[in-house]
Structure 1
């Protein structure tokens, strides 16, 4: 045995280290791309600008990504996965037992936080030149979340028709997206104020439809 740990095949450690370094470099490039996309927009961004932002040569970038589109697709896939993981616990049946104000806090806060931490997500989604696979993945996630919201509304107010649940969920997402644009365009205290305005808007819309108090449950 020549320098390998017991039970570890010779030559295994180096490939793992190379893989770890490669993953760190990929993340470095994706972080740089996110900054460039947010600053200049997707259409105006270039691989040279991304390489400069990352502090590497264009040649190093091309070792991992053939072009700007590939970078955007990888970034979009990772962000969509993170959003799916972060929002996967939202709109669960447990939320149906909360008063409306508490339910909005529990749902809106993590969704706003994700978008504030990852502003590039909406930048890419709103770009008409971004790769189509990104918008397809986003749309699929949106459809899944809206379906879960419709189910939650049905649990709170079972007498609502399926059509009314769909319209209500669609309006909620439309209000949220409009309010989110305002939230992301402000910082500090103003941003916090717009988050509260967003919740107030959603509360005002939903209150006459599903009520404000936790639904009573018959034993």
Structure 2
């Protein structure tokens, strides 16, 4: 028969750990709200504590300053972003229409960034805390590599240097478009997303056609737009 006292003794640390994780999540969400509304530079630990509905003393039990909060927040988001981008840029069937492949990837990217606008806010302020910039640059380097892999399906005969260059141009177009997308809401945001997809497809379509003479699913030659 299990020792009741021993079981209770083990359960208490687990409960305290669970409460601590919930509190950290609460503080990170509050910080995200504050960073988005005021920017990282103007944010304060008092404002974050107030947003979270806790005392500054409670906040300091978990984080020594706002930089530590921003770093923890960005670390978690970058990890999640890697998974999202990896899924969005998974290998596709060679018969997949270009428009479909581009649209699916852009939708996943935009969904993540609109759900977590704080990462964009942290990256585009006058002060970038900790090593967030380096981590973000490393992420985008990985992202460019994944885009190359995706493009290789559509440009199998293109020289590697051309595929690399095309991938970086696509990434640059996306980053510029993302700023416009996040600056708008509702129907206007959706319109900017459509424009971003159109720009990418119109850039890639002539390269695909000129390089391969690909055909669309109907079996007709693709034409550049």
Match for residue 187 of structure 1 among 158, 161, 185: 185
Give the match for residue 222 of structure 2: none
Deviations along 1:120-173, one digit per CA (max 9) or x if unpaired, are: 011111224122411111111111111111122223212211221111111101
Which structure's relative contact order is higher, taking Cα pairs within 8 Å and 6+ residues apart?
A: 1
Q: Provide the rounded CA distance (Å) in 2 between the counterparts of 1:70 and 1:47.
A: 11
> Relative to 1, partners in 2 of residues 1:147 and 1:96: Cα closer, same or farther, differing over 3 Å?
farther
- Rounded to whole Å, the distance in 2 between the matches of 1:153 and 1:79 is 26
Q: Relative to 1, partners in 2 of residues 1:159 and 1:70: Cα closer, same or farther, differing over 3 Å?
A: same
Question: In the alignment, is residue 102 of structure 1 matched against residue 104 of structure 2?
Answer: no
Q: Which residue of 1 aligns with 2:46?
A: 48
Residues 92, 150 of structure 2: 8 Å contact kept: no
Where does 1:192-207 land on structure 2 (aligned, <5 Å)? 192-207=190-205
Following the alignment from structure 2 to structure 1, what is the Cα–Cα distance between the partners of residues 164 and 138? 16
| Runs of 4 or more consecutive aligned structure 1 residues displaced over 6 Å after TM superposition | none
Find the aligned partners of 1:171 and 1:213 in 2 and give their Cα distance: 24
TM-score, length basis structure 2: 0.89
Distance 2:87 2:174 in 1: 18
Give the 3-state SS of the residue equivalent to 1:97 in structure 2. Answer: coil
- Give the CA deviation at 1:178: 0.9
Match of 1:15 in 2: 13
Q: Report how far residue 10 of structure 1 moved.
A: 4.2
The answer as to whether partners of 2:94 and 2:154 remain within 8 angstroms in 1 is yes
Where does 1:18-167 land on structure 2 (aligned, <5 Å)?
18-94=16-92, 96-167=94-165
The offset of 1:213, in angstroms, is 4.8
Q: Is the 8 A contact 2:94 2:153 kept in 1?
A: yes
* CA pair 152-96 structure 1, distance change in 2 beyond 3 A: farther
Once residues 188 and 62 of structure 1 are traced to their aligned partners in structure 2, the CA distance between those partners, rounded to angstroms, is: 38
The CA distance in 1 between the partners of 2:94 and 2:110, in whole Å, is: 20
Deviations 1:72-129 (A, max 9, x none): 0000001001111111112222254310111012101010000000000111112241
Q: Is the 8 A contact 1:36 1:50 kept in 2?
A: yes
TM-score (norm 1): 0.91
Q: Are 1:168 and 2:171 counterparts? A: no
Aligned length: 213
Q: Which deviates more from structure 2 when the two are superposed, residues 64-73 or residues 139-148?
A: 139-148
Aligned pair in 2 of structure 1 residues 177, 96: CA closer, same or farther (>3 Å)? farther
How far has the Cα of 1:214 moved from its partner? 5.3
CA contact (8 A) 1:51 1:58 kept: yes
